[in-house]
Amino acid sequence: MKLYNSVTRTKEDFVPHEEGKVRMYTCGPTVYHFAHIGNLRTYIMEDVLEKYLRYIGYDVKRVMNITDVGHLSSDADTGEDKMLKGAKREKKTVMEIAKYYTDAFFTDADKLGIKKPDVVEPATSCIKEFIEMVEGLLDKGYAYIAGGNVYFDTSKLDEYYVFNKHDAEDLEVGVRDGVEADDNKKNKCDFVLWFTKSKFDDQELKWDSPWGIGYPGWHIECSAISLKHLGEYLDIHCGGIDNAFPHHTNEIAQSEAYIGHPWCKYWFHVLHLNTNSGKMSKSKGEFLTVSLLEEKGYDPAAYRLFCLQSHYRKSLVFSWEGLDNATVAYNKLIEKIAKIDPEDGEFDEAAAEALRARFREALDNDLNTSLAVTALYDVLKYKTNGKTKVMMLAEFDTVMTLDLISAAEKVRAASASAETVTEAAAPTGVDADFAAKVEALIADRAAAKAAKDYAAADAIRDELTAMGVVLKDSKEGTTWTLA
């Protein structure tokens, strides 16, 4: 498989450190609020990557942290603690906030078909490991203590700006949000490993350390948690593009300084989901969530398809119209699958191989998910029997996770029951041809409803009304009379 590596800025052949195994790390959510659908775009694309690696035979171990401490509202070690801000807003403790939003994150992720990583580790459960790493960095001369805090000394590195050719001016932009500069830093890109001098008197979570009571900097958690569960050689590190600098840059600095050799080989960054008015941002407080999409009647699977239809290395603009289009495409896809007879014929290995080749070609090329969606339509069009088609769709759905098979089964079952109910429901004394036409339309409407294509269902109802038919929906099905 070829994968774009943001550290070399090229597409490379993916070759893991140990043959057959992939060690994969994902920056997890900061749990002071619900995840927005932009955050979830990143996790959907990472999920496809993980599942595709498994599909092509790798034994994958994926680890994710939960940022429940120490993430300040500016990436430049300044601003307010995001967790504390959430706790104040909701008049709860920081740990209550963390628990609530961690659970909410996994509920939303599950609705979008995102598999839970093999290991999920909250930062607050690894304080011992963070302290060990900070001690190691001090021993090796990569860190210094100033004004009560421990800082990483970036002047000790040969290369600091690994992802972008930043210059001093760019860095100033990064720092600008952060209200005030930190005079303790020897170099302006140095960053905090451990705080004992919190700017907030009411900092809630604190731990004892060799440098006094305090709390860890944000970046140390991913380095230490990854090292704890995945060892000294990481194959893939994932995150949204905003994580590249300074978060991932600082992770590389401290991890490589600590372990003494190159650390992570491939960096996978997902570009942002934006709205017409700009980036979707949790800290701005106005954002779209999975629950909101559901309240508006959208199926989370349609949002997943919306994401899969575009490449992860392009930013994506969210619009309701775009989501409506994805919904129509999703419903049509499911309806088409529902029409295939899964018992038709014997499994056709030659057809399966040809279809697999198309699917793999798409995803082998830097995870081209929109072409992989096309490969699903290729299955529908391919000259082979129903059994092979359904089996191939089920196989590809282990990666795409669009609920293709069970959603189609539901549509099939709904239209079958709609047929039986409506057959029994025709009023007596009506012309047989007319009754057959009405019943066919009622069955189509039931299928459209089952596929959540409410616009199509309403249009059929209007057509029936124009024919002088009055519908009555009940739990048992639909009956009809003439007006």
Binding mask 66-85 for ligand AMP (x = CB under 6 A): -x------------------
CA–CA dist 378, 419 (Å, integer):
30
Q: Which stretch binds Zn ion (CB under 5 A): 38-46, 130-138, 191-199, 215-223?
A: 215-223
* 226 interacts with ligand AMP by CB under 6 A: no
Is the four-CA dihedral 259, 260, 265, 271 of positive or negative sign? positive
CB of 401 vs ligand AMP, minimal distance in Å: 18
- Nearest to residue 5, comparing CAs of 224, 247, 201, 236? 236
User: What are the angstrom distances between the C-alpha of 377 and each of 328, 332, 336, 355?
Assistant: 15, 11, 10, 10
* 314 interacts with ligand AMP by CB under 6 A: no
CB of 454 vs Zn ion, minimal distance in Å: 41
* 69 interacts with Zn ion by CB under 5 A: no
Number of neighbouring beta carbons within 10 Å of residue 224: 27
Report the residue from 6, 30, 124, 388 that binds ligand AMP according to the rule CB under 6 A. Answer: 30
- Nearest to residue 320, comparing CAs of 294, 300, 299, 293? 293
Q: How far is CA 242 from the centre of its chain?
A: 15
Query: Which of positions 264-293 make contact with ligand AMP (CB under 6 A)?
Result: 270, 272-273, 279-280, 282
Tell me the residue length of the chain: 483
240, two tokens: 């949204």
Close Cβ partners of 422 (under 8 Å, ≥ 6 residues apart)? 439, 442, 443, 446, 477, 478, 479, 480
Contact 162, 177 (CB under 8 A): no
CA–CA dist 373, 254 (Å, integer):
40
Cβ proximity to Zn ion: between 27 and 252 the closer is 27
CB of 77 vs ligand AMP, minimal distance in Å: 16
* 239 interacts with ligand AMP by CB under 6 A: yes
CB of 26 vs ligand AMP, minimal distance in Å: 8
Report the residue from 83, 112, 222, 414 that binds Zn ion according to the rule CB under 5 A. Answer: 222
* DSSP H or E stretch at residue 223: helix 219-230
CB of 36 vs ligand AMP, minimal distance in Å: 7
Cβ proximity to ligand AMP: between 184 and 275 the closer is 275
* 243 interacts with ligand AMP by CB under 6 A: yes
Cβ proximity to Zn ion: between 222 and 469 the closer is 222
DSSP state of 72: B
Q: Where on the chain is the footprint of ligand AMP (CB under 6 A)? A: 27, 29-30, 38-39, 41-42, 67, 239-240, 242-243, 270, 272-273, 279-280, 282
Footprint on this chain of Zn ion (rule: CB under 5 A)? 27, 222
